[in-house]
Amino acid sequence: MQRREAVKIFTAVFGASLAVPETVFARLAEPMDLGIKPILLSGKQRKTLAAVAECIIPKTDTPGAIEAGVPRWFEILLQDCYKPDAQKVIMDGLTNLDAECKTKHGSTFAKLKMPQQIEILTAMEKAERDAKVRGGFIRATKDLVKSCYANSEVGASTAFEYQIAPGRWSGEELYKMGDKIYL
Amino acid sequence: MQINHNGVVAENTYDAIVVGSGISGGWAAKELTQKGLKVLVLERGRDLRHVVDYQTTMSMPWDLPHQGRSPEESLKLQSVQARTGYTVQNEGTAYLFVKDTEHPYIEKRRFDWMRGYHKGGRSITWGKQTYRWSQMDFEANAKDGIATPWPINYNDIAPWYSYVERFAGISGSRENLEHLPDSEFQPAMDLTAAEKILKSSVEKKWNGRKVIPGRVAHLTEPTQEQLALGRGKCQYRNLCSRGCPYGAYFSSNGATLIAAERTSNMTFRPHSIVGSLIYDEATGKAKGVNVIDELTKQPMEFFAKIIFLNASCIASTSILMNTKTQRYGAAGLDESGSLGRYLMDHHLGVGASGTFEGELNKTTFGRRPNGFYIPRFRNLYQEGNGYIRGFGYQGGGTRQGWSRDIMGFGEDFKKQYTSLGPWNVNMGGFGEWLPYKDNMMMLSPDKKDQWGLPQVVIDAGYTSNELNMRKDMETDAVEMLEAMGAKNISSRSSEPALGLGIHEMGTARMGTDRKNSVLNKWNQVWVAPNVFVTDGAAMTSANCVNPSLTYMALTARAADYAVSELKKGNL
How is B417-447 classified by DSSP, letter by letter? HTS--SEEEEEEEEEE----TT-EEEEEEEE
Tens of pLDDT, residue by residue over B322-332, are 999 999 999 89
Give exposure, B326-352, as e/b (b: 16+ Cβ within 10 Å). eebeebbbbbbebbbbbbbbbbbbbbb
* pLDDT value at residue A16: 43
> Residues 208-267, chain B: which have Cβ within 8 Å of A?
230, 232-237, 239, 245-246
Average pLDDT of chain A is 90
Interchain pair B413, A147: CB under 8 A: no
Residues on chain A touching B371 (C-beta within 8 angstroms): none
Looking at the DSSP assignment, which residues form a beta bridge with residue B492? Answer: B351
Give the residue from chain A lying closest to B234, CA to CA. A167
Local confidence band at B11 (pLDDT 50, 70, 90 cut-offs): confident
- Closest CB from B63, B73, B236 relative to A168: B236
Nearest to B440 by CA among B314, B276, B280: B314
Interchain pair B364, A159: CB under 8 A: no
Residues on chain A touching B397 (C-beta within 8 angstroms): none
- Phi then psi for residue A70, to 5 deg, are -60, -45
**Res A167 pLDDT > 70:** yes
Tens of pLDDT, residue by residue over B239-292, are 999 999 999 999 999 999 999 999 999 999 999 999 999 999 999 999 999 999
Does B147 contact A at CB distance below 8 Å?
no
Average pLDDT of chain B is 96
How many residue contacts between A and B have a Cβ separation below 8 Å?
A: 195
Tens of pLDDT, residue by residue over B62-84, are 999 999 999 999 999 999 999 98
- B360 to chain A nearest CA, in Å? 8
- Cα B285 to the center of its chain, rounded Å: 29
Query: Which of B58, B75, B198, B257 would best serve as a mutation to test chain A binding (most A beta carbons within 10 A)?
Result: B58
Question: Kind and range of the H or E element at A43?
Answer: helix A43-56
- Closest CB from B54, B189, B195 relative to A169: B189
Dihedral (CA of B419, B425, B426, B427) sign: positive
Tens of pLDDT, residue by residue over A58-116, are 999 999 999 999 999 999 999 999 999 999 999 999 999 999 999 999 999 999 999 99
- Residue B29 near residue B265 (C-beta atoms within 8 A): no
From the number of C-beta atoms within 10 Å of its C-beta (0-12, 13-18, 19+), residue A144 rates as buried
- Closest CB from B59, B232, B366 relative to A170: B366
Interchain pair A57, B417: CB under 8 A: yes
How is B297-346 classified by DSSP, letter by letter? --EEEEEEEEEEE-S-HHHHHHHHHT--BTTTBTT-S-SSS-TT---B-E
Cα–Cα distances (Å) from A110 to A103, A137, B291, B410, B480, in that order, read 14, 17, 64, 15, 50
- Closest CB from B65, B232, B233 relative to A32: B65
B431: number of Cβ within 10 Å = 30
B346-347 and B350-356 beta bridge pairing: unpaired
ipTM of the complex in this document = 0.93
> Which residues, including other chains, have CB under 8 Å from residue B513's CB and lie 6 or more apart?
none
- Closest CB from A29, A58, A168 relative to B366: A168
Does B77 contact A at CB distance below 8 Å?
no
- Closest CB from B58, B403, B409 relative to A28: B58
Nearest to B486 by CA among B119, B198, B137: B198
Local confidence band at A134 (pLDDT 50, 70, 90 cut-offs): confident
Question: Kind and range of the H or E element at B13?
Answer: strand B13-19
Nearest to B315 by CA among B451, B163, B189: B451
- In chain B, what's the furthest Cα-to-Cα distance? 82
Does B142 contact A at CB distance below 8 Å?
no
Interchain pair A60, B52: CB under 8 A: no
B487-493 and B350-356 beta bridge pairing: antiparallel
Give exposure, B53-81, as e/b (b: 16+ Cβ within 10 Å). bbbbbbbbbbbbbbbbbbbeebbeebebb
**Res A31 pLDDT > 90:** no
* pLDDT value at residue A1: 45
Give the residue from chain B lying closest to A145, CA to CA. B403
Residues B177, B234: Cα–Cα separation, whole Å? 26
Looking at the DSSP assignment, which residues form a beta bridge with residue B13? Answer: B303
Interchain pair B420, A175: CB under 8 A: yes
Residues B24, B120: Cα–Cα separation, whole Å? 10
Residues on chain B touching A34 (C-beta within 8 angstroms): 65
Tens of pLDDT, residue by residue over B103-160, are 999 999 999 999 999 999 999 999 999 999 999 999 999 999 999 999 999 999 999 9
Share of chain A above pLDDT 70, in %: 84
Instruction: Please state at what angle helix A137-150 crosses helix A114-130, rounded to 10 degrees.
Output: 120
- A180 to chain B nearest CA, in Å? 7
- Closest CB from B67, B72, B419 relative to A151: B67
Cα–Cα distances (Å) from B399 to B54, B236, B411, B422, in that order, read 30, 17, 22, 6
> Which residues, including other chains, have CB under 8 Å from residue B13's CB and lie 6 or more apart?
B2, B4, B302, B303, B304
- Residue B421 near residue B399 (C-beta atoms within 8 A): yes
- Cα A101 to the center of its chain, rounded Å: 25
Query: Which of B409, B413, B414 would best serve as a mutation to test chain A binding (most A beta carbons within 10 A)?
Result: B409
- Closest CB from B66, B193, B411 relative to A172: B193
Interchain pair B69, A125: CB under 8 A: no
Give the residue from chain B lying closest to A58, CA to CA. B410
- Residue B545 near residue B131 (C-beta atoms within 8 A): yes
Interchain pair A146, B235: CB under 8 A: no
Residues across chain B = 571
